[in-house]
Amino acid sequence: MSGWIAVDWGTTTLRATRMDGARAGETRESGDGMNGLSPEAFEPRLLDLAGDWIDGPTEIVVCGMAGARQGWAEAPYRAVPCPPVAAPLTVARSADPRLSVRIVPGLSQRAPHPDVMRGEETQIAGILREVPEFDGVACLPGTHAKWAHVSAGEVVSFRTAMTGEIFGLLSRSSVLRHSLGGNDWQEAAFLEAVSDALARPEALSARLFEIRAADLLEEQDPAIGRSRLSGLLIGAELAATKPWWLGRDVIVTGAPALSQAYAAALRSVGLAPRILSAAEMTLAGLKTAKDLP
Amino acid sequence: MSGWIAVDWGTTTLRATRMDGARAGETRESGDGMNGLSPEAFEPRLLDLAGDWIDGPTEIVVCGMAGARQGWAEAPYRAVPCPPVAAPLTVARSADPRLSVRIVPGLSQRAPHPDVMRGEETQIAGILREVPEFDGVACLPGTHAKWAHVSAGEVVSFRTAMTGEIFGLLSRSSVLRHSLGGNDWQEAAFLEAVSDALARPEALSARLFEIRAADLLEEQDPAIGRSRLSGLLIGAELAATKPWWLGRDVIVTGAPALSQAYAAALRSVGLAPRILSAAEMTLAGLKTAKDLP
CA dist B219 to A89, A159, B139, B211, B225, Å? 24, 19, 35, 10, 10
CB contact under 8 A, B160 and A218: no
The pairing of beta strand B145-151 with beta strand B154-161: antiparallel
Answer yes or no: is pLDDT of A197 > 90. Answer: yes
Answer yes or no: is pLDDT of B100 > 70. Answer: yes
Structural fold of domain B160-275: Nucleotidyltransferase; domain 5 (3.30.420)
Q: How far is B210 from chain A (nearest CA, A)?
A: 6
Of the residues A209, A241, A245, A262, the best mutation for testing chain B's interface (the one with the most B CB atoms within 10 Å of its CB) is A209
How does DSSP classify residue A76? P
DSSP string for residues in A205-262: HHHHHHHHHHHHHH---HHHHHHHHHHHHHHHHHHHTHHHHTTS-EEE-S-HHHHHHH
Model pLDDT, residue A255: 94
Residues 6+ apart with CB under 8 A from A130: A276, A281, A284
pLDDT tens digits for range A11-62: 889 999 999 999 999 999 999 999 889 999 999 999 999 999 999 999 999 9
What's the CA angle centered on B188, arms B184 and B192, to 5 degrees? 125
Whether B17 and B5 have beta carbons less than 8 Å apart is answered as: yes
CA dist B262 to B31, B96, B145, B158, B241, Å? 27, 43, 11, 17, 13
Answer yes or no: is pLDDT of A2 > 80. Answer: no
CB contact under 8 A, A236 and B159: no
Whether B119 and B42 have beta carbons less than 8 Å apart is answered as: no
- Quickly state the pLDDT bin for B7 (edges 50, 70, 90): very high
Average pLDDT on A84-112 reads: 96
ipTM score here?
0.93
Answer yes or no: is pLDDT of B1 > 90. Answer: no
Query: Chain A partners of B67 at a C-beta cutoff of 8 Å?
Result: none
Count how many pairs of residues, chain A against chain B, have C-beta atoms within 8 Å.
142
Model pLDDT, residue A42: 97
Query: Chain A partners of B165 at a C-beta cutoff of 8 Å?
Result: 174-175
- Give the sign of the dihedral formed by CA A79, CA A84, CA A85, CA A91: positive
| Chain B interface includes A133 (CB < 8 A) | no
pLDDT tens digits for range B47-94: 999 999 999 999 999 999 999 999 999 999 999 999 999 999 999 999
Average pLDDT on B174-202 reads: 93
Secondary structure (3-state) at A125:
helix
Whether B215 and B178 have beta carbons less than 8 Å apart is answered as: yes
Average pLDDT on A76-93 reads: 97
Answer yes or no: is pLDDT of B142 > 90. Answer: yes
Average pLDDT on B110-125 reads: 96
Answer yes or no: is pLDDT of A91 > 80. Answer: yes
Calculate the dihedral angle through the C-alpha atoms of A199, A201, A202, A206, rounding to the nearest 10 degrees.
100
- Which region among A1-5, A210-214, A215-219, B275-279 has the lowest average model confidence (pLDDT)? A1-5
Please tell me the distance from the alpha carbon of residue A146 to that of residue A37, in angstroms, as a whole number: 25
CB contact under 8 A, A201 and B206: no
| Chain A interface includes B210 (CB < 8 A) | yes
pLDDT tens digits for range B39-52: 999 999 999 999 99
Domain boundaries, chain B: 3-130+279-290, 160-275
Helix axes B163-173, A163-173, angle to 10 degrees: 110
CB contact under 8 A, A205 and B236: yes
Same fold for the domain at A3-129+283-290 and the one at A160-275? yes
Model pLDDT, residue B226: 96
Answer yes or no: is pLDDT of A1 > 60. Answer: no
In CATH terms, the superfamily for domain B3-130+279-290 is 2-keto-3-deoxy-galactonokinase, substrate binding domain (3.30.420.300)
CATH no. for A3-129+283-290: 3.30.420.300
The mean pLDDT of chain B is: 95
Answer yes or no: is pLDDT of A230 > 60. Answer: yes
Model pLDDT, residue B182: 78
- Quickly state the pLDDT bin for B36 (edges 50, 70, 90): confident
